[in-house]
Amino acid sequence: MLKPFKIYDHVYQIGGPQLTAPEDCCIYLLDGGAELAIIDAGVGRSASELINNIEKLGFDPALVRYIVATHGHIDHTGGLAYIKEKLGAKVAAHERELAAVEGENAALTAAHYYGVKYKPITVEIVLKGDQETLSVGDLRLICLHTPGHTPGGISPYVDTGEKRILFGQDIHGPFNPAWGSNLEEWGKSMRRLLALQPDILCEGHFGIYQPAEKARQYIEGYLELYL
């Protein structure tokens, strides 16, 4: 297993297939100085390891203010309940993902694919509309609504130093009408991400893409594949 590592100033990877558990999405940590934020939480079996990995990087887990759920699938949300209980952090998710994250419709979590039962939680920070901003210490995390894979998917990004870092979870899909997937909306969302011109792409399952040209090529490649 890999150790948690620094991606760029203020941004780290603390979880994922080679860091915590094979079924986990890639899980990222944002260091705003006085506050921290976690981007996604994995399936849940390895949630305690995420906290341990924060400590291994030299941070105090008690500083985690937000856990940002990019969408409602269990490989991104299964660890929310544990981390929220242990750290007292607030969960942020888009209003169009509440049925999944808060447990109204368990089918939207895709939990049956992983053989795990999802534990619903309350979302304290309900993101609405096309874009909202979360203050994480000295940093501003812009949560861009990017529907397509699911109706309320978001792609957060942060400008730190001279780099724009995009957390583009599940750019690659897949798509299923049962989750509310919509390829037309997805295409529009991907073009919005391209317009951001990210320097570093932190993807949901396939790791880090940099420099900017590789990030652009990754997104364009899936646009060509599906559309």
Q: How far is CA 51 from the centre of its chain?
A: 16
Residue 64 has what DSSP assignment? Answer: E
Burial group, residue 115, by CB count within 10 angstroms (0-12, 13-18, 19+)? exposed
Phi first, then psi: give them for residue 222, nearest 5 degrees: -75, -30
Specify the number of domains making up the chain. Answer: 1
- Residue 210: which domain range? 5-226
% of the chain beyond a pLDDT of 70 = 100
Task: Check if the beta carbon of residue 197 is closer than 8 Å to that of residue 159.
Answer: no
Separation between Cα atoms, residue 18 and residue 216, nearest integer Å: 24
Q: Is the pTM of this model over 0.85?
A: yes
Identify the helix (H) or strand (E) that includes residue 156: strand 154-160
Q: What is the CATH number of the domain that holds 182?
A: 3.60.15.10
Phi first, then psi: give them for residue 57, nearest 5 degrees: -80, -5
pLDDT digits (tens, 9 = 90+) for 24-51: 999 999 999 999 999 999 999 999 999 9
pLDDT of residue 112: 87
pLDDT digits (tens, 9 = 90+) for 136-147: 999 999 999 999
pLDDT digits (tens, 9 = 90+) for 155-209: 999 999 899 999 998 899 999 999 999 999 999 999 999 999 999 999 999 999 9
Q: How far is CA 1 from the centre of its chain?
A: 21
- Residue 5 pairs in a beta bridge with 13
